[in-house]
């Protein structure tokens, strides 16, 4: 009888936790200067050498390290991405999505599906952002993960939309400014406003400086449920709306609407689910279930986005094609009373 491919999925928690443990121990950083034995790595990471050897052998078959001798290991090109200083690092993403809080929330998936009540609050006693406020280390991991995820899609966002139409763009929930810096670098003269909670903005100065756009960008701390900066030509929301249920998502959009002039635009950058899903939407659908257990939010279809915009006094102007190879699209919206631009 053929082995079921569903078994590999069911056992997927094993490699996930092996990679997460490597991240927690900072193994990739310990291997940055060349191959090491398990004993040498144990001294550098504070681990138990015999147990670490077993972990390293498992990391070998997962492709993160290469076994050069029976007790000697080196980083692979893919394993290098677990280093904190790698330009294409994924350490934050692994650290966030395999963290104990996320792990326990996913363990409550059955109860969440039965009740419709998201698990994170049951597990931690608060919303994700309330929990991050009490746990600075996990908050920093979250912010790093968001920057890593944005880094990969940012060039496609710049290519898919004419940002040269605007004089000022406000990136709401923009974290360290990864996306805004990419846009401003591509559009000389464009001014930016980076807006997020104070903890999310801690690395923004460095990101904007490195991109050479700090002199054109204002960094503003705040809460988009209360108010957002007025006067921008475009309000950018990337991977923000999916964090919230329809009521809260509409509240965010209403806050934007209150700050907008008639000619301003809202730009929502998120995956858009098709009415009938296909395999290429695997990542977006896994994200949708993650929102189900972790935030109470959701990924949405184009029709669901249109309903959400209408509830906030906005109307869709355009919806881009998919930002290949992702399932992200850019939804441009305007105030309902604004006449279409010629």
- From first to last of the 342 residues of the chain, give the pLDDT tens digit: 788 999 999 999 999 999 999 999 999 999 999 999 999 999 999 999 999 999 999 999 999 999 999 999 999 999 999 999 999 999 999 999 999 999 999 999 999 999 999 999 999 999 999 999 999 999 999 999 999 999 999 999 999 999 999 999 999 999 999 999 999 999 999 999 999 999 999 999 999 999 999 999 999 999 999 999 999 999 999 999 999 999 999 999 999 999 999 999 999 999 999 999 999 999 999 999 999 999 999 999 999 999 999 999 999 999 999 999 999 999 999 999 754 443
pLDDT of residue 339: 44
pLDDT of residue 292: 97
User: CB 302: neighbour CB atoms within 10 A?
Assistant: 15
* Structure token pair of residue 136: 């600075």
* Residue 43 C-beta-side C-alpha neighbours within 13 Å: 4
pLDDT of residue 2: 84
Q: What is the pTM of this model?
A: 0.93
CB of 133 closer than 8 Å to CB of 199 = yes
pLDDT of residue 337: 76
Please return the burial class of 35, using the count of CB atoms within 10 Å of its CB with bins 0-12, 13-18 and 19+.
Answer: middle
Residue 139 CA to its chain's centroid (Å)? 13
CB of 109 closer than 8 Å to CB of 93 = no
* Residue 124 C-beta-side C-alpha neighbours within 13 Å: 26
- Active-site positions read 242
pLDDT of residue 45: 97
């Amino acid at each position: 009888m053929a082995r079921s491919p569903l078994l590999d999925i069911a056992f997927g928690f094993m490699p996930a936790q092996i990679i997460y443990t490597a991240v927690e121990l900072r193994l990739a950083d310990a291997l940055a200067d060349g191959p090491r034995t398990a004993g040498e790595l144990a001294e550098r990471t504070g681990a138990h050498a015999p147990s670490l050897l077993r972990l390293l052998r498992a990391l070998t078959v997962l492709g993160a390290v290469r076994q050069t001798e029976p007790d000697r290991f080196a980083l692979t090109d893919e394993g290098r991405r677990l280093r904190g200083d790698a330009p294409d690092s994924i350490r934050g993403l692994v650290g966030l999505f395999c963290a104990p809080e996320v792990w326990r929330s996913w363990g409550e998936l059955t109860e969440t599906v039965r009740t419709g009540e998201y698990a994170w609050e049951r597990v931690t006693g608060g919303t994700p952002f309330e929990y991050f406020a009490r746990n600075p280390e996990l908050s920093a991991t979250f912010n790093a993960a968001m920057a890593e995820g944005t880094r990969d899609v940012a060039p496609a966002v710049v290519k898919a939309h004419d940002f040269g139409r605007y004089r000022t763009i406000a990136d709401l929930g923009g974290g360290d400014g990864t996306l805004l810096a990419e846009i401003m670098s591509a559009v000389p003269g464009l001014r930016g406003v980076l807006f997020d909670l104070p903890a999310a903005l801690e690395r923004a100065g460095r990101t904007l400086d490195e991109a050479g756009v700090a002199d054109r960008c204002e960094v503003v701390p705040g809460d988009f449920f209360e108010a957002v900066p007025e006067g921008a030509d475009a309000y950018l929301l990337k991977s923000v709306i999916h964090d919230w249920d329809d009521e809260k998502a509409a509240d965010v959009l209403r806050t934007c609407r209150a700050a907008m002039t008639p000619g301003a635009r809202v730009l929502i950058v998120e995956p858009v689910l098709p009415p009938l899903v296909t395999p290429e939407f695997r990542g977006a659908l896994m994200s949708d279930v993650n929102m189900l257990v972790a935030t109470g939010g959701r990924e949405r279809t184009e029709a669901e986005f249109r309903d959400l915009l209408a509830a906030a006094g906005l109307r869709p102007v355009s919806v881009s094609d998919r930002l290949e190879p992702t399932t992200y699209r850019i939804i441009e919206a305007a105030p309902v009373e604004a006449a279409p631009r010629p």
